Amino acid sequence: MKTLLLLYLCLYVTWAQDVLEYDDYDTDTKAKNTTNGGTAVDARGHRPVSRGRDSYSPNRYAPPPISSGQRYRGRPTPAPVGRLAQEKEPQPDAGGCTHASEAMGALCPTGCELKNALLKQERNVKTVITELKPQIEELSRSSNNVYNYVNGISNSLRERQRVFNTNNQVASQYTDQVEDQHAYIKETIDTIFPSNIRVLQGVLDKIRQKIQKLEKAILSQNEQCKDPCITKCPIPVVSGKECEDIFRRGGRDSQMYLIQPDPLLPPYKVFCDQTTQNGGWVLIQNRLDGSVDFGRRWDDYRRGFGNIAFASSKRFCETPGEYWLGNDRISHLSKMGPTEVLIEMQDWTGAKVYAQYQQFTIQTETSNYVMAVNGYSGNAGNCFLEGALELYGENRTMTIHNGMMFSTYDRDNDNWTPGDPSKQCAREDGGGWWYNRCHSANPNGRYYMGGAYTSKMAKHGTDDGVVWMNWKGSWYSLKAISMKIRPFYASR
């Protein structure tokens, strides 16, 4: 009875868990997770966790009885009952001279004489046997020695025969191997080597042709470079540690500059925004036309890629291009002191919003560039700290980007089943980013023209566009988005 009650309780608990949703919130909260039309929000930025547990199914297979092999033989049959032992027939006295036997048919008058003769012969026979006994023993010992010797010779002969047969087999095998190798070497020398030589000769001829083309190209370039080259996009004379330093030194125009945060490292080019909120911004990320592919490897995101800026009518590089500054440089700039980040975005109708964080730090590559932010302000929605507002419970938590490591399709550091190559946010969502499981913001995703897109248009059926969920949702890819950093001062 107790067992039945326990089984019933387990089945009830399993049923109760199956009917639960994977979000732990009440009915009123679920009602909020709908659009104006009353349908459920299709938010694919996260990868939901299913809390349904597998039902317990015990192994009900019983193995059959053992039907092969015997441990005992049959029992012996008992002796038959009721048969009496046959009585021994008495025999008449034997050896006498006066006792007759009807079975013999006659008297035995000479029995006593025969006995006396046999006794006399017994003494003579015993003497001869006593003399022959030592000889027989000696002959037995000799026979045993001869047998052991012959047996030893036979064993030795059999062992030598076995060794001989084994040696013949080994010699035959080696002979066959040598013949096979000889045939292979002969075939290689006769056919494969000549063909390989012809192939190598063809490759060598192609290399010679390429060398000749390169020599001609070098000659033509030398001819063209006799005159000094004119820079189409000159770099301003003003430079500094960062864009804030350049602004304070007089560089008030938004364009490409050279900065050198570390005097021991060479300078590099960046685009400085010197007009937005009093300037001083280093543009670390920019998307505006889809001209640069952001589905890059870890090393590309570490070094940086894309086009910093383009020339304008003033001959200076005043038009920023699509680029990623590089995680090493972003980390170095953010760790020089208190740093704030500004994220500006624009949809395909021209509407603009922004998200700003007063604290922004990227750790070094040793920690896989962990991101930490705080102090949100703006009108785009706080994706980094709060996640996607369309979601609730655990589904929202898994879209928070704060505290996440950087991930690319060849370096999986997200929270979606680490180590499983089939479950990688960067591979499904189109670019490198600080993915959780997976995102509420995806600025480095795939660029879609026109804004709205569907799961059928996506490569993996996920919202892999340039997404900021708290503004436009999962299935709207922004026209432009940029990230800028500068030193934070409370008196700004």
Domain-embedded: residue 28: no
Task: Calculate mean pLDDT across residues 272-295.
Answer: 95
Looking at the fold, whether 275 and 371 belong to one and the same domain comes out as yes
Looking at the fold, whether 392 and 451 belong to one and the same domain comes out as yes
| Spatial CA neighbour of 391 closest among 21, 52, 53 | 21
pLDDT of 352 over the 80 cut: yes
Structure tokens at 49: 């966790």
From CA 314, how far away is CA 233, in angstroms rounded? 9
pLDDT tens-digit readout, 96-150: 444 445 555 445 555 566 677 777 777 778 888 888 888 888 888 888 888 888 8
Higher pLDDT, 6 or 395: 395
Looking at the fold, whether 217 and 341 belong to one and the same domain comes out as no
Looking at the fold, whether 291 and 436 belong to one and the same domain comes out as yes
Looking at the fold, whether 302 and 428 belong to one and the same domain comes out as yes
From CA 309, how far away is CA 317, in angstroms rounded? 5
Higher pLDDT, 14 or 389: 389
Question: What's the pLDDT at 135?
Answer: 85
Domain-embedded: residue 13: no
Confidence tier at 94 by pLDDT (50, 70, 90) = very low
Domain-embedded: residue 116: no
pLDDT tens-digit readout, 4-41: 555 555 554 444 444 333 333 333 334 344 433 444 45
Report the share of the chain in percent with pLDDT over 90.
42
Question: What's the pLDDT at 444?
Answer: 96
Question: What's the pLDDT at 20?
Answer: 37
pLDDT of 302 over the 70 cut: yes
Domain-embedded: residue 159: yes
Domain boundary among 195, 229, 263: 229
Task: Calculate mean pLDDT across residues 186-198.
Answer: 83
pLDDT of 171 over the 60 cut: yes
From CA 239, how far away is CA 267, in angstroms rounded? 9
Looking at the fold, whether 256 and 400 belong to one and the same domain comes out as yes
Domain-embedded: residue 20: no
From CA 441, how far away is CA 345, in angstroms rounded? 12
Looking at the fold, whether 154 and 222 belong to one and the same domain comes out as yes
pLDDT of 95 over the 90 cut: no
Looking at the fold, whether 267 and 223 belong to one and the same domain comes out as no
Residue whose tokens read 């084994």: 166
Looking at the fold, whether 356 and 411 belong to one and the same domain comes out as yes
CB count, 10 Å around CB of 356?
Answer: 18
Question: What's the pLDDT at 1?
Answer: 53
Question: What's the pLDDT at 468?
Answer: 96
The CATH number covering residue 391 comes to 3.90.215.10
Domain-embedded: residue 41: no
Confidence tier at 84 by pLDDT (50, 70, 90) = very low
Domain-embedded: residue 59: no
Question: What's the pLDDT at 367?
Answer: 93
Question: What's the pLDDT at 382?
Answer: 95
pLDDT tens-digit readout, 248-267: 999 999 999 999 999 999 99
Domain boundary among 200, 229, 258: 229
Task: Calculate mean pLDDT across residues 269-292.
Answer: 95
State pTM to two decimals.
Answer: 0.58
Domain-embedded: residue 385: yes
From CA 272, how far away is CA 254, in angstroms rounded? 5
Residue whose tokens read 């479950």: 423
Looking at the fold, whether 390 and 288 belong to one and the same domain comes out as yes
pLDDT of 72 over the 60 cut: no
> For residue 208, what are the domain limits?
137-229
**How many domains are contained in the chain?**
2
Three-state DSSP string of the chain: CHHHHHHHHHHHHHHHHHHCCCCCCCHHHHHHCECCCCCECCCCCECCCCCCCCCCCCCCCCCCCCCCCCCCCCCCCCCCCCCCCCCCCCCCCCCCCCCCECCCCECCCCHHHHHHHHHHHHHHHHHHHHHHHHHHHHHHHHHHHHHHHHHHHHHHHHHHHHHHHHHHHHHHHHHHHHHHHHHHHHHHHHHHHHHHHHHHHHHHHHHHHHHHHHHHHHHHHHHHCCCCCCCCCCCCCCCECCHHHHHHCCCCCCEEEEECCCCCCCCEEEEEECCHHHCCEEEEEEECCCCCCCCCCHHHHHHCEECCEECCCCCCCCEECCEECCHHHHHHHHCCCCEEEEEEEECCCCCEEEEEEEEEEECCHHHCCCEEEEEEEECCCCHHHHCCCCCCCHHHHCCCCCCCCCEECCECCCCCCCCCCCCCHHHHHCCCECCCCECCEECCCECCCCCECCCCCCCCCCCCECEEHHHHCCCECCCEEEEEEEECCCCC
Looking at the fold, whether 339 and 393 belong to one and the same domain comes out as yes
CA 75 to chain centre: 63
The alpha-carbon radius of gyration of the chain (Å, integer) is 51
Question: What's the pLDDT at 21?
Answer: 38
Looking at the fold, whether 370 and 463 belong to one and the same domain comes out as yes
Question: What's the pLDDT at 259?
Answer: 95
Q: Are 155 and 148 in contact (CB under 8 A)?
A: no
Domain boundary among 229, 263, 284: 229
CA dist 290 → 247, 286, 342, 480 (Å): 30, 10, 21, 9
